[in-house]
Chain A
């Protein structure tokens, strides 16, 4: 393993931004296999085709996930990456680390792998990039015994749950995302480490509709904090924003011009439910969709209400053929209570899993199953009463199909009796 001639890779070091090519070259001093990564990438740029093969039976004993096998299809030319398996580690909730554990992890990974990491993969895991099959069991032993650290999910498993920082730092959090994420991670260890489903399944937890973990776009089951009562308004602070004493958005997007509450807040409210009466701000909360815009602009004046919980949305996915699909709102509001171990959420999760395991096709995400069977059928499966908020747009499908048991007298009618009153 030594330096290859890589003019196209070297070109990627010329911009003013940080370059992964420079990072790889620096790491190559300790991990010479990094030269082969650069060499293989250069080769791929030339050939315009990937030289990675992925998948296989690699893993650690007892686990059916967390390791993704990866091999070079040019092992003779690039022996350093002949095996280059990816290891997913369950990141801590909110991704809070101590420097001590990070140093230990880096030392271990330089001993057992390439030293290259990805903080963090799209699923949320801390990703260790590149090691050989023989190193997997020793790495896993040290991780679990010395670092007290476990693998994350991959394949047809529950993927490592992820959450926004929530109440640990953020005043907008409507529930304790750390607590729920941790509780669900511990409860569903078997589903994380061993395949359980027709395809992957992801949970994500955001504390408010700002949705900092992008749960709405990236999870089969998104738990997004919200409130049922009225936005709390501090009218004195509203006046301070209007006078300029408070900076809108905490000063983040300020262009120096004077804050105009009409232009920057009221006119931008998507449901048009805000107005001024003299110098008092009014909100018609029944119309508010909890978009968070006004709260984000004036955090000192506006806060979420106090009757807090979460909205459950399902079915986000990003398949290559049909393009991305956001999650659909299924349960508008549930309470999340640590006292009863988040019973309401657990019930919903297990109901949808039981159904999807039976009815989902192989390699079909929950969102695709929902699309295939239609939202009305999906709601019936979950025993959710349809409400106007389930309807995306009126009249795209104006037909309501009643079921026989919902109609008095069923489908049977006496035609002769009817024709007496309505001659043909």
Chain B
């Protein structure tokens, strides 16, 4: 049985906060609920961004996700 959307979002956010790497690929969240469709996981992660709990981190060619405040920005990373 797949989790409810709210349960899935909580699991994703938990993983984003606890994972040693601050930035994660959308695929890294598939394991949060092996029964969920990839598209549902993607939508849940994007919802968390809309709610301001996570941020996108984009290299320009790939996009990753991070819990708010955990993503390294080029600007603050310094030279």
Instruction: Identify the A interface with B (CB < 8 A).
Output: 53-59, 62, 64-65, 68-69, 71, 73-75, 83, 86, 133, 154-157, 194-200, 354, 357-358, 361-363
Contact = CB atoms under 8 A, between A and B. Distances in A.
19 contacts: A55-B57, A56-B58, A59-B58, A62-B50, A64-B46, A64-B63, A68-B58, A71-B75, A74-B79, A154-B61, A155-B62, A157-B63, A195-B42, A196-B26, A197-B26, A358-B30, A361-B27, A362-B27, A362-B62
B30 to A, nearest CB: 8
B62 A57 contact: no
Contacts of A194: 46, 49
Contacts of A68: 58, 60
Given A64-B56, A195-B42, A198-B27, A73 B62 contact: no
A156 B26 contact: yes
A363 B62 contact: yes
Contacts, number: 97
Interface in B45-72: 46, 49-50, 55-63, 66, 71
* Majority secondary structure, A binding face: loop
Contact of B59 (A54, A71, A83): A54
Nearest to B77: A53
A362 to B, nearest CB: 4
Contact of A358 (B25, B38, B63): B38
Interface residues of B, number: 28
A-B complex: 7 closest residue pairs judged by Cβ atoms? A155-B63, A195-B63, A357-B38, A55-B59, A155-B58, A68-B60, A156-B63
Given A57-B73, A155-B60, A362-B62, 14 more contacts: A55-B74, A57-B56, A57-B57, A64-B58, A64-B63, A71-B75, A73-B79, A154-B61, A155-B61, A155-B62, A156-B62, A196-B39, A354-B37, A354-B39
Contacts of A62: 50
A236 B60 CA distance: 55
A53 B38 CA distance: 31
Contacts of B26: 156, 195-198
A56 B74 contact: yes
